[in-house]
Amino acid sequence: MGDDNKQGSSALEKRHRRRSLRLNQEENQTSALNTDEVQSRPRRRHLSSERSDINNQEHTNRQISRRRTKGSIMHDEVTTQLPTKQAFMPQYLGSDNHINIGKDEWRLLKRKLKRPALVSLLNELVEKNNIDVPYRMTSKEQAWDDFQALKALDAGSLLHVNYNHARMSYQHPISLLTIDVDNTGSRATDPYFQAIRFTCKGSRVGSATDSWNDQESRRAVFNHILDQDTPFIDRHVIRKALGTRRYIAAQYRPAVAKAIFHYFKPKSVIDMSLGWGDRLLGFEASPYPKRFVGIDPDNRVIQAGNLMHKQLKQRSKKVELYNAQAESFKYEILEEKADLLYFCPPPFHDERYTDEESQAYKRYKTENAFVDHFLVKAVVNAWHMLEEGGVLVLDMGDLRGSKRSEPIRFVDSAIDAIVHKCQFARYIGTIGARINDRTVDDQLGARIDPIWIISKGTPSITEQALFGRFTSK
């Protein structure tokens, strides 16, 4: 009897152990299934903006790391920024740690909250989550792809003959050659120059960075978004409103620079006002110039340009960048002359790149001083470095003014002074950089910003009929 009890007890223990083992196995399998389900199941819209991120290139899980307020060079390292556990109202943040509220949630918030309360909520999201300026999200890979697209672009296909309409009227005649609108390459400079560009101030308004870091300016931006009745709100919507309601300085189209290089086919270029790297990018993407000299008083863009040149790895290209003022640069240090001078001067006081005393708007307070001691002096200073038959490409326009000010006209007088003071200089015409303007019927011509062409002697261009026939002086 005792042996039977022992055997029964032993059998019962074995059954318990087998049952316990089976339950543990089932529990582990269930846990694994749950884990797989969590990993494979898309998160709900109010917790993440992944679906929006896929549909919109503005939202990517990678962001170029940058400093917030100084507009310093953005590093090429790509990091992932996700809302932290301590985030304020994380359901309204996207995977890029920026405001991202989908259609349903945005509609519900607008219905639930009055406008002042909703604007305050958006401001609170920015403040408590330390949300950065709504830069355009461009990863290192996206920038590289955009550069490759610019290299592949047939610049000759952008050049056409049109009857051109300039925004302003000028005494110097407008020619027929036109460069079509093409934004290829505009994202390629983002990792290096975008944060710097966002620190540029207007004549009467602060920079995009200043506006974003000011609560009242942000309030105006958010009110504008509500006025527009957008169906959702995200980084792209906010950046567009920031540019409309406040100010974001415009980029130079790299495709325009590439088309200029394609037309004149220079071997060497001197850019007298480097700016935000778009002409340098056009040079890197063009087969024709092999040497590029850039000058700018803002040391940030010099550093950014050197970094971009290094990252693009165009080993057949030689780039020299100098931190200096164009009107006083010592060209004697250069070993070679150039056959194209490219000059895109600041538009008088309308763009204020830094607060440093080296800036033209700080040095030349009046229109006459700006023309005589900056524009003309800078060209005269560089003229001896231009080869015979080379050209000056002068990209500038008169300023239209506003309700509070008269138009500022200086282009015609500057061209006259350059032709008068520079040996063998002659005005030969314009190339029109086409702009998007639906007020002009394509059948009537193209709306353009004129790029002024001044040659040194007889220009060595192939399609001279576009500008007329020339004989040497």
- According to the model, what pLDDT value does residue 72 have? 43
- Please determine, for residue 467, whether its predicted confidence score (pLDDT) is greater than 90: no
pLDDT single digits (tens) 81-127: 444 447 889 999 999 999 999 999 999 999 999 999 999 999 999 99
Provide the b/e sequence for 110-132 (b: ≥16 CB within 10 Å): eeeeeeeebbeebbebbeebebb
What does the alpha-carbon distance between residue 22 and residue 18 come to, in Å, rounded to a whole number? 6
pLDDT tier, 459 (very low <50, low <70, confident <90, very high otherwise): confident
Model-wide pTM > 0.85: no
Lowest mean pLDDT among 17-21, 143-147, 207-211, 288-292: 17-21
CA distance 260 to 178: 10
| pLDDT grade for 164, boundaries at 50, 70 and 90 | confident
pLDDT surpassing 60 at residue 17: no
pLDDT for 249 beyond 80: yes
Span 405-415, mean pLDDT?
A: 86
- Find the range with the poorest average confidence among 121-135, 203-217, 306-320, 363-377: 363-377
Q: What is the pLDDT of residue 237?
A: 98
Residues across the chain:
473
Chain mean pLDDT for the chain = 81
Between the alpha carbon of residue 2 and those of residues 11, 23, 27, 301, the distances in Å are 14, 31, 37, 94
Q: Which of 287, 74, 254 is nearest to 181 (CA)?
A: 254
* Percentage of the residues of the chain whose pLDDT score is greater than 70: 73
Residue 33, pLDDT above cutoff 50 = no
What domains, with CATH codes, occur in the chain? 50-132+208-245 (no CATH), 140-189+251-466 (3.40.50.150)
